[in-house]
Amino acid sequence: MRLENKVSVVTGAASGMGKSIAILYAKEGAKVVVSDINIEAANATVEEIKANGGEAIAVMANVAKEEDIQHLIDTAVNTYGTVDILVNNAGIMDNFEPAGEIEDEKWERIFAINTTSVMRATRKVLPIFLEKQAGVIINVASAGGLQGARAGAAYTASKHAVVGFTKNTGFMYAQNGIRCNAIAPGGVETNISASMTGRSDFGMGRIMPGLAINPRTGKPEEIATIALFLASDDASFVNGTVVTGDAGWTAY
């Protein structure tokens, strides 16, 4: 029970890595606020947690909207009294477009969901964390936030920004009992491809050689164990950094 009596907020928790993180956190004793734009699927995650003896609520949130993030954190505090752990997991994919094929609307949407939401949710919980001089923020970045050709230019730029934001936040608040780290998953079995609206033939052609050296695809549960470590006191000396979970893909 490494997270006993902790209150955690997990975005994008209706499926994939977010769902696995929420379920594992609850198993380890946390009260979990399951956030997703798909409230029906979020409720299903909550029911699974409750069926296993855990405690959770579902909150509908489109993380691209500031008012939804405000409501999400306020609901967590109103329900459980505080927030101890924030997991910024919600994200979408691009269509593997290189710079010359980017459309402004898609660029802005990817950054709103993948990057700006991370800043806004972090900004919202910081007064809570600063008041009690304790708190954990975990941002789900990507191998695409460390390397240049794991996705298109927009997704790659958005996740690089998450990595930079993580490092800055971790250092800035290190003396206030607050830790901020990121996870960089490689290829993981999730439904993120459902957010794609097509594929750039040129972009995919350039990326394909790198896909061939990926040792294997991961399971959402394997990323959840990293998130558990980072949220627990076992990671008390880990701050402002990125933990890569990719079976060695980026080691090549």
Sequence-distant (6+) residues with CB within 8 A of 108 are none
Q: For helices 16-27 and 220-231, give the axis angle rounded to 10 degrees.
A: 50
Q: Which residues on neighbouring strands pair with residue 137, listed in sequence order?
A: 86, 180
| Cβ atoms of residues 7 and 83 within 8 Å | yes
Active-site residue, selected from the candidate residues 25, 80, 155, 173: 155
Encoded tokens for 46: 């909550």
Q: Among this protein's residues, is 252 annotated catalytic?
A: no
Sequence-distant (6+) residues with CB within 8 A of 246 are 143, 184, 185, 186, 187, 214, 218
| Residue (of 92, 88, 100, 167) closest to 124 by Cα position | 88
How do beta strands 85-88 and 55-60 pair?
unpaired
Residue 168, phi-psi category: left (phi > 0), alpha (psi -120 to 50), beta (remainder): alpha
Q: Which residues on neighbouring strands pair with residue 139, listed in sequence order?
A: 88, 182
Catalytic residues: 155
